[in-house]
């Protein structure tokens, strides 16, 4: 059994003893702490009600966890809006639609079906920052409960926000629904038996896209490892080829990550989902500015011709951004860090290289629904195949390795020494140590684990072999540092 507490929420396997897994006791304690900190943060006038949206993916444990969360919210005197089966971005949008004070998403994202989690949102439908998350963790450890009396118990209502979310996506100026309909696309969809099987077919129907459904029954019995990596998408790759589809679309259980398959059944590459969408939006901004005879940033205000992603994401986004005359910014790993950086630099588009597209014109959260609509718009305008589109982008390969250590104290020693050894290169230490070798367009990122004596090594180069070689060099140097 496993229970992991972090600033972004609490996640664990279902069953077992309190404190060792995600049990009803842990769910109540954590939800109660969220309510306490919600009141402290917003400080509404006496008598004003608090409202929280609760959405869930299709995990088998979802009903149980939902009842515990909603019951605790009611017992705290908080009104509840149950969104039912809802993607993570849909629940985030629902907080905005409802003008709610917060939200709780019940999903363990790409983790196996034994897992579930509580992910916490603020009144903007965005994840809490590190300080807020730490406050909730501390509060949950106090075991100091004070629930509402019978006249102050919260109310509960149920709403489906799926179509409202799709409406908001299709209302975006950057989504060209007419061009998509005219293109007559056929898409194969793998929703890994979760809520993507509800919202994605509805999106495709609204866009006039023929959808071949693979693993789309939302029963929580995941047909394969739910992380949308090439090794887990063999059924989808086969369906694309067998059905002569224009592309394959894969989403994870809570639909915040988007992976694509080319028409030939080969992976588009999850790093390139964001790259392609950014390429389209940057190009569109340039075209609109030229047509209007105005500076680009005047046309796209309040945004700027900038993009952002985390340090472990592909350099391809930077290359594409700079090719359009824009500027790229890097953030520490973690969605809240990326959205914070996007707000700081006024990014037109951003996200994470794992297929997470964040389009602030809609909301500050990873969203496979808007990512799909923007990608299809780009494809429709380009009038080319998915593989032809991929061929237009800079080609890089990322490898992922790790260093296992006997003592966590060795981690900082290795990171500090790496900065000294590679002092002549471009160093970024906002999240571990990233060393960029600009002359050959390669980089390596060393990140420490918060829970284990491990350093994760991400390396990128023009070829898989070069990336592996770079990672191997770093591992060898690390070995010498601690020997």
What is Dmax (Cα atoms) for the chain? Answer: 68
pLDDT tens, 402-427? Answer: 999 988 889 999 999 999 999 999 99
pLDDT tens, 355-376? Answer: 999 999 999 999 999 999 999 9
pLDDT tens, 207-224? Answer: 999 999 999 999 999 999
- Number of Cβ within 10 Å of residue 148's Cβ equals 14
What's the average model confidence in pLDDT over 66-91?
99
Banded model confidence at residue 304, pLDDT cuts 50, 70, 90: very high
Q: Which domains does the chain have, with CATH numbers?
A: 3-160 (3.40.120.10), 165-261 (3.40.120.10), 271-388 (3.40.120.10), 397-482 (3.30.310.50)
Predicted local confidence at residue 324, as pLDDT: 98
Least confident of 44-48, 71-75, 95-99: 44-48
Predicted local confidence at residue 409, as pLDDT: 86
What's the average model confidence in pLDDT over 230-234?
94
What's the average model confidence in pLDDT over 59-84?
98
* % of the chain residues with pLDDT over 90: 94
User: Does the pLDDT at position 1 exceed 70?
Assistant: no
User: Does the pLDDT at position 7 exceed 80?
Assistant: no
153 or 3: which carries more pLDDT confidence?
A: 153
Banded model confidence at residue 2, pLDDT cuts 50, 70, 90: confident
Mean pLDDT over each residue of the chain, to the nearest integer: 96
What's the average model confidence in pLDDT over 125-143?
93
Please report the sign of the dihedral spanned by the C-alpha atoms of residue 397, residue 312, residue 412, residue 1: negative
Predicted local confidence at residue 6, as pLDDT: 79
């Amino acid at each position: 059994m496993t229970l992991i507490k972090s600033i972004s929420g609490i996640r664990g396997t279902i069953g077992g003893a309190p404190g060792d897994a995600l049990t009803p006791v842990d769910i109540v304690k954590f939800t109660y702490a969220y309510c306490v900190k919600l009141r402290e943060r917003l400080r509404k006038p006496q008598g004003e009600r608090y409202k929280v949206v609760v959405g869930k993916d299709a995990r088998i444990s979802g009903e149980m966890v939902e009842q515990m969360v909603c019951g605790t919210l009611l017992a705290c005197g908080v009104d509840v809006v149950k969104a039912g089966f809802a993607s993570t971005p849909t629940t985030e949008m629902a907080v905005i639609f409802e003008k709610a004070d917060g939200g709780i998403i019940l999903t363990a994202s790409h983790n196996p079906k034994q897992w579930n989690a509580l992910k916490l949102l603020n009144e903007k439908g965005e994840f809490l920052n590190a300080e807020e998350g730490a406050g909730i963790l501390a509060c949950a450890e106090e075991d100091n409960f004070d629930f509402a009396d019978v006249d102050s118990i919260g109310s509960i209502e149920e709403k489906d926000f799926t179509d409202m979310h799709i409406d908001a996506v299709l209302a975006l100026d950057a989504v060209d629904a007419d061009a998509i309909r005219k293109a007559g696309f056929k898409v194969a969809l793998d929703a890994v038996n979760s809520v993507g099987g509800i919202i994605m077919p509805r999106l495709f129907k609204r866009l006039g896209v023929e959808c071949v459904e693979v693993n789309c029954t939302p029963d929580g019995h995941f047909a394969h490892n739910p992380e949308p990596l090439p090794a887990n998408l063999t059924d989808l790759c086969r369906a694309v080829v067998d059905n002569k589809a224009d592309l394959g679309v894969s989403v994870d259980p809570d639909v915040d990550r988007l992976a694509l398959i080319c028409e030939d059944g080969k992976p588009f590459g999850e790093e390139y989902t964001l790259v392609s969408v950014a390429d389209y939006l940057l190009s569109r901004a340039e075209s609109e500015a030229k047509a209007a005879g105005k500076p680009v940033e005047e046309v796209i205000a309040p945004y700027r011709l900038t993009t952002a992603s985390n340090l472990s994401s592909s350099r391809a986004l930077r290359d594409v951004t700079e090719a359009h005359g824009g500027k790229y910014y890097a953030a520490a790993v973690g969605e809240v860090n990326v959205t914070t950086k996007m707000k700081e630099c006024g990014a037109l588009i951003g996200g994470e290289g794992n297929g997470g597209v964040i389009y602030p014109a809609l909301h500050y959260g990873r969203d496979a629904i808007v990512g799909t609509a923007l990608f299809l718009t780009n494809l429709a305008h380009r009038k080319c195949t998915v593989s032809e589109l991929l061929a237009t982008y800079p080609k890089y390969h990322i490898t992922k390795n790790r260093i296992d250590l006997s003592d966590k104290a060795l981690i900082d020693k290795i990171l500090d020494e790496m900065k000294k050894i590679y002092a002549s290169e471009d160093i970024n230490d906002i999240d571990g140590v990233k060393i960029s070798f600009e002359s050959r367009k390669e980089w390596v990122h060393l990140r420490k684990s918060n829970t284990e004596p491990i350093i994760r090594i991400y390396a990128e180069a023009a070829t898989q072999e070069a990336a592996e070689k770079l990672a191997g060099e770093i591992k060898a140097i690390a070995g010498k540092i601690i020997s």
